[in-house]
Amino acid sequence: MNDHVSSLYALAHELLNLGMDGSPIYSDHFARLNREVYEQALNLYNAPEGNTPEEEAELCLSILLALNATFYDNGRKQQFIQHLLDRCWNVLDKLPASLLKVRLLTCCYGEVYDEKLASEAHSIIDTWDASSLTPEQTEIIGELKNMEENQYPFEIVD
C-alpha cells in the first residue's frame, strides 16, 4: 500500500503545482491527471487504516491532498474530507514532531483554519535549523505561510 500512497502524493503534488514553474499546461494532461488523482484517492479512501501512526498519517495526507487538488466531485467529496479529518485528529497526537506531522497539520489547517493546528506546526518548524532546511521543509513553510496569509483564496472581499 505504501507505494500507492507515495504515488498518489506525488501525483497530487504535481497536479497542485502544474504550471507553477512557467511551463505550459495542456488540457489533455490536466484532465488525465485530475481523473487519475481522483480515482486513486477514492481507491485509497476505501483501503484499511495504516498499521502505524506514520502510515495512517501518510495515507490521510495523500488522500486529502488529492481531493483538494482535483476538481471532480461525486457529490460526497466533503463527506470524504470530513471523515479524513476525523482520522487525522485520531493520529496527530500519536505522531512525533516531524516533517510528516507538519505536512498533516498544514493540510488540516487548510481545511478548517484552526489556529491551534498552525501554532503546533510552527512550534515544530521553530526547532528546525534554518540554515540547513531541506527543499521539502522550505516548501511546507511556504505553504503554511501562504495559507495563513490567504485564508479565503476563493472569495472576493470588497
* Predicted local confidence at residue 148, as pLDDT: 93
The pLDDT tens digits of the residues spanning 139-152 come to 999 999 999 998 76
Q: How far apart are CA 110 and CA 112, in angstroms?
A: 6
Residues of the chain with CATH 1.25.40.810: 1-94, 96-150
The pLDDT tens digits of the residues spanning 122-144 come to 999 999 999 999 999 999 999 99
By the 10 Å C-beta count (0-12 exposed, 13-18 middle, 19+ buried), 140 is classed as buried
Nearest 5°: the CA angle 75, 80, 86 is 150
- The enclosing H or E element of 4 equals helix 2-16
CATH dotted code for 96-150 = 1.25.40.810
pTM equals 0.88
Give 1-94's CATH code, choosing from 2.60.40.420, 3.30.300.130, 1.25.40.810, 3.40.50.140.
1.25.40.810
- pLDDT bin (cut points 50, 70, 90) of residue 157 is low
